Amino acid sequence: MNATEQTTLSRRGGVALWRQIEQTIEEEIAGDRLAPGDRLPTEHALAERFGVNRHTVRQALAALEERGVVRVEQGRGTFVHDDPVAYAVRKRTRFSETIRLQNREPNSRLVRSATLAAEPAVAGPLGLKRGESVILLETLGEADGRPISIASHYFPACRVPDLIAAYRAEESITRALMRCGIADYTRKSTRVTARLPSAEDARALHMPRSRPVLVAENLNLDPEGRPIEISISRMAAERVQLVFEP
């Protein structure tokens, strides 16, 4: 099978041309002739190969996209959909552990750190007054080298004043908190929504601005039950599935 070769379709079998094209491409994906992430030939090339109009190819691609088999990006091309990372959210959720459970190689790096005055949305859940100091750690998480999530982690500065230095030494939030005297932390609640990404998030996540991000707002408590962290993660929705099991 060659991309330039013609592939003949039955015009009288009672099956629409676009259905036949849809099935042919799907079989090529199932048969590993097209791997996850691969770019399909252009619509023009496919139209030529199947001997049909570009519209007909587009209808087949739209059907495949609707079912989540491929993803179409304006100006770039059509790509075989990657398997999403199943991100399990439990009482104790740690990024690297979760990714490793999926047989993927986790990686996480700090992209920003600062000490700020708490905005109401952050101060409230953390039990602080508006304007009290919070420490922000912004991390980019990757799985197998592909960016998965950008997370802004906020901590009450009074509880962990030296957190930024600790993070630089430990390269891990869990271990940095330990160094600051917080032995453990657990998830109190998670709020999930979705929106289109900001320009920076889209760039960092290596995704177009036209596709949604999942936003998970997470409140974590220390062993005594006091709020210790609020994290707001933005994840490329196409690459992630959040899994909740009670």
Interhelix angle 17-30/43-50, rounded to 10 degrees, is: 110
- Among 13, 68, 127, 223, which residue sits at the site for a second copy (rule: CB under 8 A)? 68
What lies within 8 Å, CB to CB, of 107 at 6+ separation is: 141, 142, 143, 145
Please identify, using beta-carbon distances, which residue of 16 and 88 lies nearer to a second copy: 88
237 scored as a contact of a second copy (CB under 8 A): yes
177-216 binders of a second copy (CB under 8 A)? 187-196, 198, 210-214
d(CA 222, CA 14): 64
Instruction: Determine the 3-state secondary structure of 95 from DSSP.
Output: helix
> Residue 70 in contact with residue 40, Cβ under 8 Å?
yes
Q: Which residues of 87-101 are buried (b: 16+ CB within 10 A; e: fewer)?
A: beeeeebebeebbee
33-92 binders of DNA (CB under 7 A)? 40, 42-44, 51-53, 55-56, 58-59, 61, 72-78
32 scored as a contact of a second copy (CB under 8 A): no
| Cα distance between the two ends of the chain | 48
Least gap, CB of 84 to a second copy (angstroms): 7
d(CA 141, CA 151): 8
66 scored as a contact of a second copy (CB under 8 A): yes
Please identify, using beta-carbon distances, which residue of 59 and 233 lies nearer to DNA: 59
155 forms beta bridges with 135
90-119 binders of a second copy (CB under 8 A)? 90-91
Instruction: Read off the amino acid at residue 218.
Output: N
138 scored as a contact of a second copy (CB under 8 A): no
175-214 binders of DNA (CB under 7 A)? 208-210
**Contact pattern from residue 210 through residue 229 relative to DNA, giving x for each residue in contact according to CB under 7 A and a dash for the rest:** x-------------------
**Site for DNA, rule CB under 7 A:** 12, 14, 16-19, 40, 42-44, 51-53, 55-56, 58-59, 61, 72-78, 208-210
